Each structure stands twice: as C-alpha cells, then as structure tokens.
Amino acid sequence: MTPLERLGLLALHRLDPETAHALSVRALNAGLAPTPGPVTSARLATTLAGLALPNPVGLAAGFDKNAVAVNRLTRAGFGFIEVGAATPRPQEGNARPRLFRLTEDRAVINRFGFNNEGSEAITARLAARQRGPVPVGLNLGANKDSADRAADFGQVLALAGPHVDFATVNVSSPNTERLRDLQGKAALTALLTGVLAVRDTLAVRIPVFVKIAPDLDAAGLEDIAEAALTSGIDGIIATNTTLSRSGLRSPHATQTGGLSGAPLFELSTRVLARISALTEGRLPLVGVGGISSAEQAYAKIRAGASAVQLYSGLVYGGLSLAADIARGLDALLERDGFASVAEAVGTGRGDWL
C-alpha cells in the first residue's frame, strides 16, 4: 500500500461506511487509486470454465453494483471482475444504515438488499465498456417484490448476456427474504435449468456460475452439488456472506445482515473443500470469503478453487491488495514447485475436510 493509499483509507474510515464506499468508487474513476494493469505471469495465467484469466484473483460482486467503474477496475490488478447484483427493475434496497465496519474483527456486515439501478442501466454501461484481457461478469439478482424470482434471473441474463463474459446466479444473499430457499435441490435445479435455457439463446455462449451460502449443512451441500452437476451449470462460487456471529468482538456484531471478512475465512474454506470433494473435480470452483493475503488465496486454491475473489479485504487493505495478492501467489506457486495455478488446485483439500 502506498502512503497516499494508506492516508486515503484512514480518511475513508472516518466516514459512514456506505458514504466511504461511494467516495472510493469516485476516487477510482478520478484516477486516484492504483491501476497497475492486470498482474500476470506464466504461472498465474489460468482458465476458469473456458475463460482466460491473467491471474486467478478476482473482484467479487458488490463493490461495483452498478458497473460504473468497470474500465478502471480491469486495470487494478485483478484477473477478472464481477459487477452487480443486477435485478430486472431498479431497487432501493433496505433502509440505511445498512453497512457496518467491524474493525476489531477486520470484517463487514451488510444488509443492502440488492440495491441497484436496474438491469437496463447496468447493461447500458456494460455494453459501452472497453473490452480487454480481464473478463467481466454480472451477478444476477431478483427483485424483492417479484412474483417469480426464478424468472428474474433469466430476464437479467437475456438483457445483459451479450455484453458480459460470464454470469452468476446469486441465490445466497441473506438480505432478501426467502431467497436462500432457492438453494434447495428441486428449486435450484429448476432455476438453473431455466437460466441455462436463456443462456443457450445468446449468440455467444458464456459460462454461468451459481453462488452459494456458507451456512449450508452437509445435506444442503450434497443437494447443491447434485443440482449443479445435474443442471449443467459451469461452476460454483463458494461462498457468500454468513449469518454466523461466532467469536466477534466489535460492538456492531449484533447487527443483522451478512458477515464477510476475516471471520468468514475458515468456514467458507471448509465449505469450498466439501463442495470440491462432492463434485470430484467435475466443476471449477471459485473460493470467496475472508481473503486478505496471498497465503489465504493460496489456501483456497489448494482447498479446491480454480480462482478466488476478494471484496471485504479491500476495506482494510486498499485496492492495491489485489495486485499484492496476485504477486504473492506467484511467489508461493514458485516456492512449492507448481508451474501453474491449475497444478495446485485441490492439493491441500484434505486439510479442510
């Protein structure tokens, strides 16, 4: 982290978290944040469900909900970017305050409720973006008051699909009532089948992932794995935020919403390893939850992830964290004799089972 970035983070942390986030996006677009370009090497370059990635360190959905900073983000060191979530119609989300820093725990709680400007506005920005070597995807959401939430995902994909490199079906947010009910085997299989039918109408076939919660029990994970394999989905993102509050010290620990950041690392990595074992390498996985160092990204990969995503770690480590993790991951792969990311995937899965 540069001295300027460190100073900027200190200033942002004196503000309301949601205000600070909005200012950080504006600063990025104004050229005030580090944009070294995609970090890559022969070891780091990899593929994810057919996508060519400069490196396996991605940005998770939620940072750029409305796709207003895509061009800058693709030059911030990430190997791939996910924007959104987008719902068919604009949505205000839940009342503020709805974002909380848990500084003592290096964590964040949010209860945004899929606030976004709607699929039409977001798609227009995605259509106008500069294409480059960093894939850009969209997280698909459902309107809170929708009569058919399953149909909402397909509706957003039909509109935005021609302008993105991948899409994610988000059935794992804890902040939209009963959304996680769609993770049940029958409901999820039907949902994914419907979304993939829409995907197959696109002129260019793009991979579609499903993002799951970390709070599933063993039977729930088995259902997810079976639904994913049966439907023909292209991969699984594990995991979204948790409802658990175990071991927190911050006074904000009692806030409702999804918890992300450092406390999520162990739980999400165990879920990742279990999904890896259940799918037996037949689906690529993306590891998310609590990553704030190259060592943690490497642990996710060795637990079974072909790529990883960050978000909450940036709150405490700044935007330069993405490039730092990619470079550190390259060094760890070299240290352990791996010629590529793919060689390391799953080599430490047993440590998490």
Give the whole-angstrom CA distance, residue 146 versus residue 128. 28
- Of the chain, the end-to-end C-alpha distance in Å amounts to 35
- Do 253 and 102 contact (CB within 8 A), yes or no? yes
Task: Output the six-digit token pair for 337.
Answer: 């004799």
**b (16+ CB within 10 A) / e for 118-129:** bbeebbebbeeb
Pairing of strands 136-140, 166-170: parallel
Q: Which of 119, 172, 173, 231 is catalytic?
A: 173
CA distances from 163 to 55, 77, 102, 122, 187 (A): 22, 22, 36, 10, 28
Residue 293 CA to residue 211 CA, distance in Å, equals: 22
What is d(CA 82, CA 97) in angstroms, rounded to the nearest whole number? 24
Number of other CB atoms surrounding residue 115 within 10 Å: 18
Burial class (CB in 10 A: 0-12, 13-18, 19+), 353: exposed
Asked if 173 is an active-site residue, the reply is yes
Other C-beta atoms within 10 Å of 343: how many?
15
Handedness of CA 63, 69, 75, 76 (dihedral sign): negative
Element (H, E) at 21: helix 17-29
Q: Which two tokens stand for residue 221?
A: 């994970």
**By the 8 A CB rule, do 17 and 101 touch?**
yes
Name the residues annotated as catalytic. Answer: 173
